[in-house]
């Protein structure tokens, strides 16, 4: 029980992180479930909320910088910043698409 109270104390301090606040809220739900329980019956498990995204408190500029860094890291090693040669890796035979010669009508069904 002391662990639950400590989680709540940490969650309400100035500068508490989102994880600490979520832990405090979960501790409150656990205490509420214990208070609402009927004698002789098992405690209901409190419903946990979806985890808070690490991007929730990030502004748009930081999110874009992170996205750009991740995309640059995903580029192949032979790519240059200036967009140098963009040769495709050999993935099998390549066949050109050929249409009918000019003047030949399409076959009607």
Using only the alpha carbons of the chain, give its radius of gyration. Answer: 30
Q: Is the dihedral of CA 77, 83, 84, 90 positive or negative?
A: positive
pLDDT at 46: 60
Ranges in the chain, pLDDT < 70: 44-53, 78-90, 106-109
The token duo for 92 is: 């099998």
Indicate the average pLDDT of the chain. 78
The pLDDT assigned to 12 comes to 92
In tens, the pLDDT along 54-81 reads: 777 778 888 889 889 999 988 887 655 5
Q: What is the pTM of this model?
A: 0.40
């Amino acid at each position: 029980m002391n662990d639950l109270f400590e989680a709540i104390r940490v969650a309400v301090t100035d500068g508490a992180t989102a994880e600490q606040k979520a832990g405090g809220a979960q501790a409150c739900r656990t205490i509420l479930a214990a208070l609402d329980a009927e004698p002789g019956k098992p405690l209901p498990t409190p419903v946990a909320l979806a985890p808070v995204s690490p991007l929730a408190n990030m502004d748009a500029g930081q999110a874009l910088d992170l996205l750009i860094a991740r995309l640059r890291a995903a580029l192949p090693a032979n790519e240059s910043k200036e967009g140098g040669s963009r040769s495709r890796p050999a993935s099998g035979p390549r066949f050109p698409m050929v249409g009918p010669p000019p003047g030949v009508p399409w076959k009607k069904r």
